[in-house]
Amino acid sequence: MKKSFFLSAFILLLLQFSNAQKNFSFPNNINSSDVFVTSIIKDVVTIKARKGFELWQFKLGSNEIVKHFKLTPEFEKAIFNSYFNDNGAAYEKVKRQYETNNLKAFDYFIQINNYLVNDNNEVFALVKCLEAKTENVGNPNGDISMKTFYMLIKVDNEKISESIGIQDMSLESGYFVIDNDFFIKENEFFFTVSKTQTSEKENYFIGKWVKSSNKLIFSNLLKLELPEFHIKQHIGYGLMNFMTRKNLLIFYSCPYLYDLNRLTCKKLEVQNIKSSQFTGHKKGDFFDINFSVCALFDDGATLKLIIRQNINFFIEEYDSKTLLFKKEIPMTDYTFDNLHRFPFFNSNGQITITPKKSGDIIILTH
């Protein structure tokens, strides 16, 4: 009887650990070192190329590719035409000006720097474009100026399924939109805004747009201010990348948790946070940061963060309602140096890692 009991306990222990980690491969012809895994939602993996804008979505396990998109000249022309509806005339004009005048002051006349994968695995990309605008209307030899405009496109398999122009990019009180992180809530669109410099108050960073006649029209600024950390560290409107989860938002740079419904902010207690050190404080400087928030997940009872302190990762857990600290779990087997990117939570709250050595995708249940 005793031997049988220990054997059963041993089998249960093996089953527990066999379920704690699952390994998955990438599709054929996709090298793990050439891409970033950015999300896993409902067993669909989204990956993006490290260079240029190319992305894939494939099913975890079967590796069936369900979506692939690459920004080609044909798609560039389609984006311009969806905005101007001129059979490509605006596209050809800016392309000609860019190529003949060697406009190196601009990175390119069309860029995709940020995109969003929603809970239904739909992909939206924020596109920044240049229009070659003739200053003296009616004069073919008039001066040409470059004017920036933005589009939001919905990416489907090998095509653009929807495109929406974004109006009112220069806002009241000196705010303007930057091509940074964005999110969508119930047909309302929220983009990052900035000012040339911070002030004593009203340092808002999110604006809301609403859809009207296939255009996004500016509505208002959310009354949410930059983290106190950004002000004290003289970062200002630098390091503006953030992540959202349902009604929650948190910056990668510091553990200030925002409630987007209540428009409140709470600094979370993090056990391993130390004062971040920077090598530069001005725009364009290189920032050397020894701390970052890597991931956020909330199941309604427990809010979890994955944080990085130097090269080490930790899981921080909090009560979802009170936001009081509960416990910390070191991720001792993984460091910043041996992963392709930092760990993150999938839509089920499991941890996703992509080790450099094995070149696969590992799902951890803790």
**Strand pairing class (144-156; 206-212):** unpaired
| Radius of gyration of the CA atoms of the chain, in A | 23
Nearest C-alpha neighbor of 165 from the set 186, 148, 183, 150: 150
Digit-coded pLDDT (tens) for 42-88 = 999 999 999 989 999 999 999 999 999 998 999 999 899 988 989 99
Give residue 106's pLDDT.
67
**Strand pairing class (248-251; 256-259):** antiparallel
Q: What's the rounded Cα separation, in Å, for the pair 335 and 344?
A: 13
8 Å CB contact between 41 and 345: no
Digit-coded pLDDT (tens) for 124-170 = 999 999 998 877 665 556 678 888 889 999 999 988 999 999 886 66
CB atoms closer than 10 angstroms to residue 337: 7
Give residue 312's pLDDT.
94
Digit-coded pLDDT (tens) for 26-46 = 999 999 999 999 999 999 999
List the single range of 69-83, 101-115, 340-354 with lowest mean pLDDT: 101-115
Residue reference for tokens 């000012």: 195
Q: The whole model's pTM is what?
A: 0.87
What H or E segment, with its residue span, contains residue 220?
A: strand 215-221
Digit-coded pLDDT (tens) for 228-268 = 989 988 889 988 999 999 999 999 999 999 999 999 999 99
